[in-house]
Amino acid sequence: MLTGCAPLTQAPGALDAHIPPFARRPYEPFSREAAVQIALREWRAFGQQVVYPNTELPEDEEREEGLWQRVGEYWWLGLDPRWREQGWTGIHDENGVVFPASEDGNYAWSAAFISYVMRMAGAGSRFPYTTTHADYINAARRHGLGVEPGTALTAERVEVYAPQRGDLICYWRGPQRVSYEELPTGRFPGHCDVVVGIRPGDLDVIGGNVDNAVAMRHIPATADGHLAGPDGTVIDPDHPYFVVLRVEYLR
């Protein structure tokens, strides 16, 4: 997906003027439970869809009335005015022109959804709001290396750290494999979901733009909640998870 910044015409204080005061200030400390409940709220808005392996949702929900507007809120509230993508919706470009369903892939909103959840949960300036998952994955690794101290994310190995509710689990997409050892690296196709539930051998995760909806998946894990065994072999046969982002909530 193409990303870029428009010329900055706003005064610095206007960059977050569109963000609700409760999230801009924020009113409450950055909260794990808030992130989980916000993700669940958006999942319920999209009909509580669950995506199972080798199946697809029957409808293009991001284009439905009431839901294309909601995707527009993820873009509007998840980003700042420097991004032209902030004006997108589930069916419109930044000029309000409807794009055909065949171009949905050029308007992928999964990273905007994560940015929205983190923003509304009170991350403030501690999350790198972006259109691309790779940006905040790389920021998390740099934070772990001690070179980006203001970021509330730390990249963890899938065989070492068992994700907790509110953490993000991420896999690479496309033909080029990405490994934890390579981080930080350049931009690459990827996807991250929010962990909202944990059971022995299984994680419930919610992501945006999953079959064009906010949807839940049940991700296989070890009995103690790791995405990979001690040898690094990922348990899920369908998604090449390579990093967990431990979110440093304040409560």
Question: Tens of pLDDT along 23-58?
Answer: 999 999 999 999 999 999 999 999 999 999 989 898
- pLDDT tens per residue across span 141-172: 999 999 999 999 999 999 999 999 999 999 99
Could you read off the pLDDT of 219-235 as tens digits, one per residue?
999 999 999 999 999 99
Contact criterion met (CB below 8 Å) for 42 and 69: no
What is the pTM assigned to this prediction?
Answer: 0.94
**What span, in angstroms and rounded, lies between the C-alpha atoms of 247 and 151?**
9
Among 226, 220, 223, 230, smallest CA distance to 243 is for: 226
The Cα–Cα gap between 181 and 141 comes to 10
